[in-house]
Amino acid sequence: MGARPGIQITGPPLPANTSVSRQPLRLAVFTPDGYTSGMIVLTNTGGVAMTNSFLIADETARQAVLFDAPDHTVAPLLETATARGWELTGLWLTHGHFDHFADHAVVRQKFPGARILLHALDQPKARQPEAQTRLFGLPLVIPPLVADADLTDNQELKIGSLAVVALHTPGHSPGHVAYYFPQEQLLVGGDLIIGGSIGRTDLPDSDPRQMQASVRRVMSLPGATRLLGGHGQPTTLRQEQEHNLLVQELLA
């Protein structure tokens, strides 16, 4: 494997006796110095909004965290975590829109010890998901979500030995959070910047001015930072700065 920084579609094989209903795409993360030892990133996309869910693990520590839980999407990731012998220590949500937490009860049932983290400003709507499904006319039944802890801006988190910083990035949603891995230059970005576009700001509690401030904040990170958005394919902040017209407009 080359030392070129970025995300390559590859990864260690699953155990031979693993039974997974829909094997998720496996992404191995690299840094300029080569492979990040023990770090594995897996993703699966699904649900009514084709939302991404990411499972990020420190395989050396046998610990993993799930980022977002779209409807009808997390089961293959949870099966993979079980097959690899990982302890799922958390479900860390980027925000409280239904398509990002709909499967939270599935996660809780499979891994009761996984702590659900969500910014306090998005907890009211997570507790009342039926208001969102009515707004969009969807036949989904989502259990109310009560987070185990509030996320705060610049909060330092850990997945095994992997350092993570929670960045409060409101605009699309008041309690929107992005998760930055500084050593790996990796950003789980939710619906802030989503591969050539940005998150909606026409929703009842969206704020275009906050969105601009949040985009500017995230775009101050190194350009080589790999962006795993809530929808669409992985990209980099440099690619978004060069090709995303909406990001360019907000940076002007």
pLDDT tens sequence across 118-165 = 999 999 999 999 999 998 898 889 999 999 999 999 999 999 999 999
Within a domain: 67: yes
Q: 185 lies in which domain range?
A: 6-251
Residue 89 is inside which H or E element, if any?
strand 87-92
Within a domain: 59: yes
Within a domain: 1: no
Would you give the DSSP letter of residue 197?
A: S
Smallest CA-to-CA distance from 230 within 83, 55, 67 is with 67
pLDDT tens sequence across 56-76 = 999 999 999 999 999 999 999
Smallest CA-to-CA distance from 148 within 80, 101, 181, 192 is with 101
CB contact at 8 A, 152 and 193: no
pLDDT tens sequence across 203-242 = 989 999 999 999 999 999 999 999 999 999 999 999 999 9
pTM of the predicted structure, to 2 decimals: 0.89
C-alpha angle with apex 55: 50 to 57, nearest 5 degrees? 165
What are phi and psi for residue 36, nearest 5 degrees?
A: -75, 105
Smallest CA-to-CA distance from 190 within 215, 157, 216 is with 215
Number of domains in the chain: 1
d(Cα 186, Cα 226) in Å, to the nearest integer? 5
Within a domain: 209: yes
Within a domain: 236: yes
Within a domain: 60: yes
Residue 139 pLDDT: 86
Within a domain: 114: yes
Within a domain: 29: yes
The CATH number for 236's domain is 3.60.15.10
